[in-house]
Structure 1
C-alpha cells in the first residue's frame, strides 16, 4: 500500500467524512478471520444472537486470536499514514447480518464512546449502562478525533445493506437526522468488496437499508483515537 495512494483517501476522509479502500485483505486472510470467529465460544454476554443478527461487543477482547489477522500490514499502514502514529483501538464490534436479515438502520451519527466506569464530568453525558459496560456521549472534540475502520468479510452493495452516507455531514457537529435537508444534501451508497475496508468519521451521518437479495453481510467495526480521556476515565477497550 503506497503512501501516495493513501493521500487520495485522506482527501476523501477530510472532505466527505469517509473513504473506501478495496484489496486490504486477501481472500485467504478473510477466510482465516471468519474461521477464527466461528471457533469462538459464543456463550458470554458480549455475544448477541437472533434470527436477524449475530453480534459481538468488545470483539478484540472476546476473540483475541483474531488480532494479528485483523491488524495486517495494510491496516497498520492505513492507521499510521491516515490517522497518525499515536492512534490506538478504543472500541470493536463484529456483526453478521444473515441472509434472512430484514432490518434497516435509520440515519444517525455514532455519538458515544465505551469507557471503564461512570463518572460525573463536565461535558460528558448522557450515559448508558448495559451489563457493566458504560457508554457516554463525550465532548465534540473527542468525537471529531475518532476514525472508524469497517472491515468487510463479504461483498457489500445496496442489495445487502451497504452503508448509505451523507457526504460532508461529519463537519457539521451534532447533526439531527430529522433536520436533513435533501434539497442541499446528497446520499451516497458505499460499495465495498470482500477484503476491502470503509474508513469513516463517526460524525458522518450513516444508515443502511434492508437486505433484499439474500446475501449475508459480515463487518468488523473498529474505532481509533489518540486522545487520553480526562481524570480517571479510561477507554474500556484500549489496545495499542
Structure 2
C-alpha cells in the first residue's frame, strides 16, 4: 500500500473524506484496515470522527480493530458516544464481546459510559434499553456472558460427559470471572432441572380408578368367598398401589 504525501494512505483519505466506494474498492483489493501513519490515527478513528457510519461498517467487516485508539486514548466508541451518534455506537457494540469498551478509560480517565452519563438523553439506553449499565452491576447481556454460559452449560450438562472435567477461565482481574462462574452454575442447575422428570405426578383420576378397582375386587371376593378376606385383600392392594 503506497503512502500519500504527509504520511496518509489512500484508505485514510477515503475514511476521512467519506468516500464509501473508494474505501470499499481499496478494502476489496486488500488494503490494510488497521494501517496508521499520520498522527497515529487509524482509518476507523478518522471515519468515526467525521461521522461516516457506512465506512466504519465497511472497515469492521474487513477486520478493523474496534479497540484501537488515538494518542488521547480515545477509541471510536469514545468518539461515537461523545458525538451522540446512535448509529455509530450500535455498529461498534454489535459484537457482545466488545461491551467492555464501554468502561475503557482514555488517557484523561473518560470512559464511553461516563461520557454518556453526562448527557440528559442516554445513547446507551436507546441501544440496550432502560437498565443499569454500571460495570459494578456487571451486565451479563452486554458482556456476552449469557451466550458463553449457555454454550458451556450445554457442553457440561451433556449426559455422555464423564468426570473429571476441568474448566479454566483466563482473564484480567476484575473482568467478571466469578460472576461468569456463578452464572454458569445457575445455568447448569436450570438444565439439570429440565432433564429430570418427576417420578410421580398426583392425579385424582388415578385415585378414583384405584378405589373403583379395589372396591370391585372386594365385592367379588366378598360375594364369592368371605367378607373379612375381601377387606384384607383390598387393604393389601391399596398399600401396594
TM-score, normalisation: structure 2? 0.22
Bigger Cα Rg: 2
Query: Which structure shows the bigger proportion of residues in helix conformation?
Result: 2
Query: Which structure shows the bigger proportion of residues in strand conformation?
Result: 1
For CA contacts below 8 A with separation 6 or more, give which structure has more relative contact order: 1
